[in-house]
Structure 1
Amino acid sequence: MRCLLSAYLLPLILHSCSGADWCYQTQVSCESHCKGPDRWSEVSADCGKNRQSPINIVTKKTKLDERLTPFKFTGYQTVFDSTMKNNGHSVQVSIPITATVSGGNLGETYKAVQFHLHWGTNGGPGSEHTVDGEQYPMELHIVHMKQRYNRLEDALRDPSGIAVLGFFYEESSSSNRKYDLFTHGLRSIQNTNGNTTLRKISLNQLIPPEVNMTNYYRYDGSLTTPGCTEAVVWTVFENPIPLDREQLRAFSTLKFHDGNPMVGTFRPVQPRNGRVVYRSSGAAVAASAVLILASISAALGLSRPH
């Protein structure tokens, strides 16, 4: 059986498969002989370390960090053509232009390398990160590495060499027309190693204006597929991206290498192991506004004659 490569590591081969290939829980069976998430440490020892991703973000335990200021994006608005590929466990799109993110206490400028997604079954729960135990239908990861590195291998040796921006999706009653070309392209990559050209797309196109980019969480973690390298500064945005049911279901039409439906492509949440999850001042402001409104409502309720 050929090696399945981590979505984060393509197109560079950074780890060789040992023994059976890794797979998601939905692929585990008596016949498959692949190693599900509970056995990934047998494929790569890093998968058993203490700074693993994804995690469940418990909002009341997050810590306000005033340094988590708005990001500065460059090249996110640039339109490009790229290859969209079914790599055997996800759909991945390489980013052939120079697009960077800085600010937000990242410390350095990071350049975008690729983006990919994780999803459930026919639009059901499928995000990797969860918030207060809630699992969203899907999650987008835009993967960046420090601009000063030329090779992903070098970035992965740096404990903060990779920065991933994570976005949740939620089901909407209306379709997100900016995703039409993307979801239509899925029809051409049903089978593993299938690829097609995705034309005239930009990173901004993936993120609608209603996603408040100042509301986010931050923690130190890892890649979420083997080798699970602990080199990732995670930013998980609070506000989800809306897609309608059919758009969400379109991802479940893809197939794993064995021809079975590509569903449940997420790693279960990992222990936090004492790590602090920080929240941006934007997220804190939103939370404060809710509390203020609740206080006003309560006060009005108390002052009303009965």
Structure 2
Amino acid sequence: MTSIFFLAALLWPTRLCSGDWCYHSQFPCDTCKGPDEWTSLFPTCGGQSQSPINIVTRRVQYDPTLTPFVFEGYDTVSSITVQKHENNVHFVLPPEVGVQGGGLSGRYKATQLHLHWGIDGQPGSEHRVDGEQYAMELHIAHEKEQPKSEEDDNEHAVLAFFIEESGERNEALDYLLNAMNSVLYSGNQTSIDFRLNDIIPAASDLSGYYRYSGSRTTPSCEQNVVWTVFFRTIPVSRSQLNSVSRLWAAAGRNSSRTFRPTQRLNGRTVSCSTSALFVPWTALVWLSTTPCWDLL
């Protein structure tokens, strides 16, 4: 038995380093490149419209076209495939799930959702607000249904939700974490029955959000993403935060701190919707039709 664990320890670095790119915590590794080196493999990762970003609220501009979203299929229980990739877990969503409105140019069908996290409950969100990094971040990715062109910088729409520590356990998030824990190795997959509305805030609480144009936050970092970052956060307990970074410890891998550092804004505009301004929970949440920048 001891020899088996010894062999696994020898093979673990090779398996961990098998991909071309990796996150911070996956060093030391001679064959995988961290975020600072992604551009050597994927030049687009050095573009001028990269994600994630730090949202500076005093520079946000009000945009009256950012109306409430119409969520389709979010309230339906769907069979979702859970796939382990080299650096994360994807929950593959059916095309019946989608969004319209919210200033988007047509309907976008859902493709997958995934999480980004830190280590042992430390901050792990990709986006930041006024420099504050949240505990985790949930991304629900969508793809434009209409025919797309190579020049289309709105091909994908990602809905981003900050996950913030709370005193209560989030049972819906537990369901996702348990599924993640059942696919330990790259290429593993399973399926679950799940409803997106069980994990995200109610639609009536999602009229307040930030909007900007950016990129995928993983290689090859294509700059064709319309980002929506919601004000309202998702609660999670400390024990759940601690468990996330240890999900694959039993498989001999370090899969914590799965987030890309923030990127330069490079003159891009960050807009906000008409209905609310989010200030971290230690302060206040205003619900108003006043333009965002008038509340700063």
TM-score tier (shorter): 0.7 to 0.9
Aligned residues: 271
CA deviation vs aligned residue, 1:83-117 (integer Å, no higher than 9, x gap): 21221211210012411111111121111011111
**Among 260, 268, 273, the residue aligned to 2:261:** 268
- Do structure 1's residue 143 and structure 2's residue 137 form an aligned pair? no
2:186 aligns with one of 192, 196, 212: 192
Question: Structure 1 residue 288: deviation in Å?
Answer: 7.5
Contact 1:192 1:255 in 2 (8 A): no
Which amino acid in structure 1 is aligned with residue 140 of structure 2? Answer: I
- For 1:66, give the aligned amino acid: P
Aligned to 1:247, what secondary structure does the other structure show? helix
| AA in 2 matched with 1:219 | Y
1:160 counterpart = 2:158: no
**1:32-43 residue pairs with structure 2 within 5 A?**
32-43=30-41
State how far apart, in whole Å, the 2-side matches of 1:211 and 1:91 are: 29
Alignment of 1:1-306 (within 5 A): 21-29=20-28, 31-149=29-147, 158-199=152-193, 201-209=194-202, 212-255=205-248, 259-284=252-277, 287=286
Contact 1:156–1:231 (CA<8 Å) still a contact in 2?
no
Q: Secondary structure at the match of 1:185?
A: helix
Give a deviation string over 1:1-27, Cα, whole Å, max 9, x none.
Answer: 7899xxxxxxxxxxxx9xx71111111
Contact 1:170/1:243, CA 8 A, preserved across alignment? yes
Q: CA RMSD in A?
A: 2.7
State the secondary structure of the residue aligned to 2:245: helix
Gap change, CA 1:284 and 1:125, over 3 Å in 2: closer
The answer to whether the 8 A contact 1:211-1:240 is kept is no
Q: In the aligned structure 2, how far is the partner of 1:211 from the partner of 1:259?
A: 42
Distance 1:178 1:37, change over 3 A: same
Question: Are residues 214 and 146 of structure 1, via their aligned partners in 2, closer, same or farther at CA, if it must alter by over 3 Å?
Answer: same
Check whether the contact 2:181–2:248 (CA below 8 A) recurs between aligned residues: no
Q: What residue ranges of structure 2 are gaps of 5+ in the alignment?
A: 1-13, 279-284, 291-296
SS at match of 1:207: coil
Structure 1 counterpart of 2:155, one-letter code: G
Contact 2:124 2:137 in 1 (8 A): yes
**Conserved in 2, the CA contact under 8 Å of 1:145 and 1:155?**
no
Gaps of 5+ in 1: 5-16, 292-306
In the TM superposition, residue 253 of structure 1 has moved relative to its aligned partner by 2.1
TM-score norm. by structure 1 comes to 0.81
Instruction: Give the distance between the partners of 1:229 and 1:91, measured in 2 at CA.
Output: 20
